[in-house]
Amino acid sequence: MKIAVVTSRFPYPLEKGDKLRLYFQIKYLAQHHEILLLSLIDEPLAEVNLQHVQQFCKTIHVFPIQKKTAQWNVVKALFNHTPLEVSYFFDKKIKQKIEQIIHAEQPDHIYCQLLRMAEYVRQLPYPKTIDYMDAFSVGMLRRAENSNWILKYFLKKDAAQIADYERVIYSDFDTHTIISQQDQQFLKIKEKENIHVLPNGVDTHFFTPMPRVKK
């Protein structure tokens, strides 16, 4: 199976939880599948880190995002209905490039890590999995409770928008995963019981190994 992995952060080095989770998923999946990695980056990628991940991926594409543009997107999102982090990581030109690559590669499956990357792939006509990782809307509400009243207003607004977005994109993906049962229950989605709880690991029943070709 050829799997296109779409992520907001390059999965190495392992200094963040989402990178750690994705790194070991890719490492396992690469044992039995062909991995096409498409990753945003917000700082220059060290050659040693690129080379490390290349051992698991047949092809790697990275897309730099400009922090000033991303921050301006967040400012604009304060006055519309798009979740802040979705706006921060979205770039129309990058979306076009990702779509072109995926159509050229014709993957068997697209694996989208995190809600923030859904806009890049949600309309593509391929089987797709989204890993929510955790319930971001709940995390945003918790942040709001510990913030001043101005920030609290925007964070609560964003939490509601994230919850709405989680519901809206649900039907765009064929398979859904999350890190814990607690996070699964926090999601404001009717079909939450269909979301697979996947602790830091890989759903080996869904991603069945390809048969080995005899040489």
Which tens digit of pLDDT belongs to each residue from 127-182?
999 999 988 788 787 877 888 877 788 888 888 999 999 999 999 999 999 999 99
114 — alpha (psi -120 to 50), left (phi > 0) or beta? Answer: left
Residue 215 has pLDDT above 50, yes or no: no
Residue 69 has pLDDT above 80, yes or no: yes
Residue 184 has pLDDT above 80, yes or no: yes
Residue 200 lies in a domain: no
Residue 109 lies in a domain: yes
Q: What is the pTM of this model?
A: 0.88
Its domain, for residue 36, covers: 2-194
Q: Before 64, cis peptide (omega within 30)?
A: no
Residue 18 lies in a domain: yes
Q: How many separate domains does the chain show?
A: 1
Between strands 34-41 and 59-64, the pairing is parallel
Residue 113 has pLDDT above 70, yes or no: yes
Residue 207 lies in a domain: no
**For range 60-89, the mean pLDDT:** 91
Residue 96 has pLDDT above 60, yes or no: yes
Residue 72 lies in a domain: yes
How many whole angstroms from its chain centre is CA 7?
Answer: 5
pLDDT-based confidence at 186, cuts 50/70/90? confident
Residue 33 lies in a domain: yes
Residue 199 lies in a domain: no
Residue 209 lies in a domain: no
Task: Identify the CATH number of the domain in which residue 22 sits.
Answer: 3.40.50.2000
8 Å CB contact between 198 and 177: yes
